[in-house]
Structure 1
Amino acid sequence: MLDKIASLAQKLSPGLRQVLSNMGWLFVSKVIELGLSLVVGIWVTRYLGPTQLGTLTYAMTFVGMFRFASLQALKSLVVRDIARSPTSKNETLGTTFALQFAGGLITLLAAVGTIYWLQPNEPLTHWLVGIIAAGTLFNAFNTIDFWFQSQIQSKYTVVARNSAYVFMAAIRIGLIQLQAPLITFAWARLAEMMLGTIGLVIVYQSRGNHIQAWRASWQRAKELLQEGWLLVAAGVAIYIYADIDQLMLGSMLADKSELGFYAATVKISRLLDFFPMVLASSILPKLTAIKEKSHEDYLDKLQVYFDISTLIWLAGAIPISLFSHYIVQILYGADFAAAGTLLSVYIWSQFNSCLGVARGTILTIERKLKFNLILTTMGAIVNLILNFLLIPKYGAMGATVATIITYLIVIILINFLIKELRFVGSLIINSMNLYAAISRIKKELQ
């Protein structure tokens, strides 16, 4: 068996082998995270219960409202630019680090100040928001990950981050055994980010790179912001149409348990997000290079990319929808039984992750980022309106229906209304022919 696998690998081009290797490392990383989430994360959820989970989720979602300032949206630009011009890496990395650290500080101050103003009599919420927001300062060190992604060498960041993740998973188990209060789990989240940062720095330095060589350039910062402001602005809209439902559930309904049920549903669904993210991060540099050489080959590769994305969506949505009540019962217990019906519906919204990430990759490669802002702004408006109308009457199920309708409009239907994006709509429709999609994938692997 191993001989056959080795023989097949030798038939692949060096570039494809590199992409598959990188995907393998990212896949292993996410499998480890998934495994621990299914054990430790679910254990924590059971321990906290619907109400405390809802409170923690509200704080995390509240901080997310300001996280756009941390400029994580610049990642695709940085990865692309380093892949194109490796000699400019120190200037690009140094500038990116400076921008993201400043953005993290703004996020921290804005989140803490706003929650004090809105809820002056909720000290626990104040602390939760402050601790979670402090973690955005460490996001600046994700710049190191951008470098490894540009070189298709994610295995190094996998080792660094997973070490921190595994260690803190053990700490969380200890907190449960000690019957620790809710706030300690927020501190554990911050500690995990700190340890992950230390690991990234060690790995980067050990590979012969030097953070001391980074240099921030005002000119480079202006270039990144001039092109990336569309991504940042789109990030605000993305938050509104992707996560505002949880913030509105926590704000519009006095009982935080409803948000707890919804959050548990979202947690299960988003466990599947790593598949399209792994695929996108591995394929972006190669698609960029292919486009420069052959437009026809580029379009063929895009179709296969969407074929794989559609199959990933269906492979997850169908079984989870059918067995949602059993899954919730097994994972979370009787206290979360109400989340079973929510999950059976919500899981179908995963086409947003699979097909949306694929479209985002195309927009980055083709420098059509302006459409990100247009699409997500429309989605944000639709989601706000639908949640405002549906949540008061239908609670978490209203938020679920609002999410699916919003994603359907933004990810699929809108492509056919914009001339420059009609080919994306065609890629999506073609990928729905599963027989043809599987045939194209098999041909690509031969």
Structure 2
Amino acid sequence: MTPFQKFISNISWTVLGKILVQILLFAISILLTRYLGKKNLGDYATLLVIPVFIRLLNSFGLETLINAKLPALNIRDSSRGEGRYLVGRLLALRFTTTVMFCVLIYYCLPYYLSLIHRPEFIEFRWVLIFYFAAITIDSILSTLFMTLLRFKVLVKIESLGAFLNLIFLIIFIRMDYGIYGVLYAYIASLVVTNLSYLILSWDQYLGPTKMPKCGDMKHLAWVSYGITFLGFGLMTQSDVLLMNFFKVDGGEIGLYHLATGLTGTMVFLLSGVAPMALSLFSETFSKDGLEELGKLYCKIVGFSSYLTVPIYMFCVFNSGVLINFIYGSAFEEASLALVIFAAFAGIQTALGNNFTVSTLYVIHKRNEAIRTTIEGSVLNIGLNFLLIPVFGMLGAITATGITMVYMV
């Protein structure tokens, strides 16, 4: 089976699974958005910046090491002992650093909240710590399943997690727990999925091991870590941070969160494709060299664009109808933001940006990846400082959109 045939055979399970997960996530999105309202939705988005940013600090390039190195190790060592050694050590490291960063959040959170003028959010300290721990463990375990191309299992676990999230959310909403309920519903569902990942992947970290040659692993991990950390300036969470810094109204932040979240949710077909592509890129480059890698890259970019660009176009031309139908007329003000963000996201996808960094990793051009990330982060933050004080939320979304296209 060729690498592209592997991609197609697994993408079917990815698409089918994501359709089911997406239905559940839409229900969750509708429930929490209508329940919280614009102001509380903005507060919710502001709180999420904290665990998301700390997760980046805690990444240390481990997900990239699994994605890029595990397939090659399993090809080279048929006993898979080298792969088990790598996975076992990386999981142990992730659990250790997670505990350390939980302590960091506990003691440093008051200073951050003072910076963004929201000291009242200190009451959420413990729930944010639990949220961070859940998402950072989920990140490495789900990456492991994607790398191993165990998409049938992955889809089942993700579907279970989304279903549990919905059930817990309904329960907590009926109990009127507010933002706490939304956060704890997600945490509870991730606890179940993380335990499922650990149980079903035990053979990947337990058993006979053999130390692999490190080669460029450390360099790859640090390069990936640098790109991930610097990439915070490219994420929507950095926009939310700066909007709070410039004291943008919480309702406007809520509309921003809705527009960017809905755009990302609508292109669910791409979920999981990038990690799977990186795994296949690594395998192809190891076996067949640069020329075959280039052919595979073109096929995957074309296939992904074919699946997702029409969805972006639908968002652009039907933004008002879409928001009214899903969230109600109270959120209609987010229509223009959705048009802007969906247009830029569609252009970025059509140009293949979702797979550019993956390819640079595989062909050992990591300095170019770092330089591009730094340039994009500086551009986005600079545009935010210029546009947010003048245009508020629309300035933030425009800055992010321009940067997304520049990154290509």
Q: For this structure pair, what is the TM-score category when the shorter chain's length is used for normalisation?
A: 0.7 to 0.9
Picking from 12, 18, 21, the partner of 2:9 is 21
Q: Which has the larger radius of gyration?
A: 1
> Within 5 A, what are the aligned runs for 1:263-302?
263-291=257-285, 292-293=287-288, 295-302=290-297
Q: Once the 2 structures are TM-superposed, how far is the Cα of residue 365 of structure 1 from its aligned partner?
A: 1.6
Count residues in correspondence. Answer: 395
Counterpart check, 1:94 vs 2:91:
no
Partner of residue 340, structure 2: 345
Picking from 381, 384, 388, the partner of 1:384 is 381
CA contact (8 A) 1:241 1:403 kept: yes
Picking from 29, 32, 49, the partner of 1:44 is 32
Picking from 356, 369, 372, the partner of 2:353 is 356
Q: Which letter maps to 2:15?
A: F
Q: Which letter maps to 1:104?
A: T
Counterpart check, 1:119 vs 2:113:
yes
RMSD (Å) for aligned C-alpha atoms:
2.7
Listed as ranges, the gaps of 5+ residues in structure 1 are 1-12, 412-446
Q: Once the 2 structures are TM-superposed, how far is the Cα of residue 45 of structure 1 from its aligned partner?
A: 0.6
Partner Cα separation in structure 2 for residue 214 and residue 267 of structure 1: 43
Q: Which letter maps to 1:370?
A: N
> For residues 258-289 of structure 1, what are the alpha-carbon distances to aligned partners after superposition, in whole Å with 9 as ceiling and x for unaligned?
10010000111111454334333333333333
Q: Once the 2 structures are TM-superposed, how far is the Cα of residue 210 of structure 1 from its aligned partner?
A: 6.3
Partner of residue 180, structure 1: 177
Partner Cα separation in structure 2 for residue 21 and residue 129 of structure 1: 43
Q: Once the 2 structures are TM-superposed, how far is the Cα of residue 127 of structure 1 from its aligned partner?
A: 3.9
Q: Which moved more, 1:123-132 or 1:186-195?
A: 123-132
Q: Once the 2 structures are TM-superposed, how far is the Cα of residue 383 of structure 1 from its aligned partner?
A: 0.8
Counterpart check, 1:236 vs 2:233:
no
Q: Which moved more, 1:58-67 or 1:69-78?
A: 69-78
Q: Which letter maps to 2:32?
A: V
Q: Which moved more, 1:270-279 or 1:396-405?
A: 270-279
Question: Aligned in 2, Cα 1:359/1:149: closer, same or farther, shift over 3 Å?
Answer: same
Partner of residue 432, structure 1: none
CA contact (8 A) 2:269 2:308 kept: no
Listed as ranges, the gaps of 5+ residues in structure 2 are 75-79
Partner of residue 64, structure 1: 52
Question: Aligned in 2, Cα 1:164/1:311: closer, same or farther, shift over 3 Å?
Answer: closer
Q: Once the 2 structures are TM-superposed, how far is the Cα of residue 71 of structure 1 from its aligned partner?
A: 1.2
Partner Cα separation in structure 1 for residue 262 and residue 178 of structure 2: 24
Counterpart check, 1:307 vs 2:295:
no
> For residues 103-157 of structure 1, what are the alpha-carbon distances to aligned partners after superposition, in whole Å with 9 as ceiling and x for unaligned?
3234333333332124369675224354234333343365443443333222212
Q: Once the 2 structures are TM-superposed, how far is the Cα of residue 56 of structure 1 from its aligned partner?
A: 1.0
Question: Aligned in 2, Cα 1:76/1:29: closer, same or farther, shift over 3 Å?
Answer: farther
Question: Aligned in 2, Cα 1:317/1:240: closer, same or farther, shift over 3 Å?
Answer: same
Greater relative CO, 1 or 2 (CA 8 Å, sep 6+): 2
Local SS of the residue matching 1:119:
helix
Question: Aligned in 2, Cα 1:199/1:317: closer, same or farther, shift over 3 Å?
Answer: same
Partner of residue 320, structure 1: 315
Partner Cα separation in structure 2 for residue 28 and residue 108 of structure 1: 36
Counterpart check, 1:336 vs 2:331:
yes
Question: Aligned in 2, Cα 1:119/1:146: closer, same or farther, shift over 3 Å?
Answer: closer
Local SS of the residue matching 1:65:
helix
Partner Cα separation in structure 1 for residue 158 and residue 129 of structure 2: 19
Partner Cα separation in structure 1 for residue 26 and residue 139 of structure 2: 25
Partner of residue 137, structure 1: 133
Q: Once the 2 structures are TM-superposed, how far is the Cα of residue 353 of structure 1 from its aligned partner?
A: 5.5
Counterpart check, 1:190 vs 2:187:
yes
Picking from 163, 171, 184, the partner of 1:166 is 163
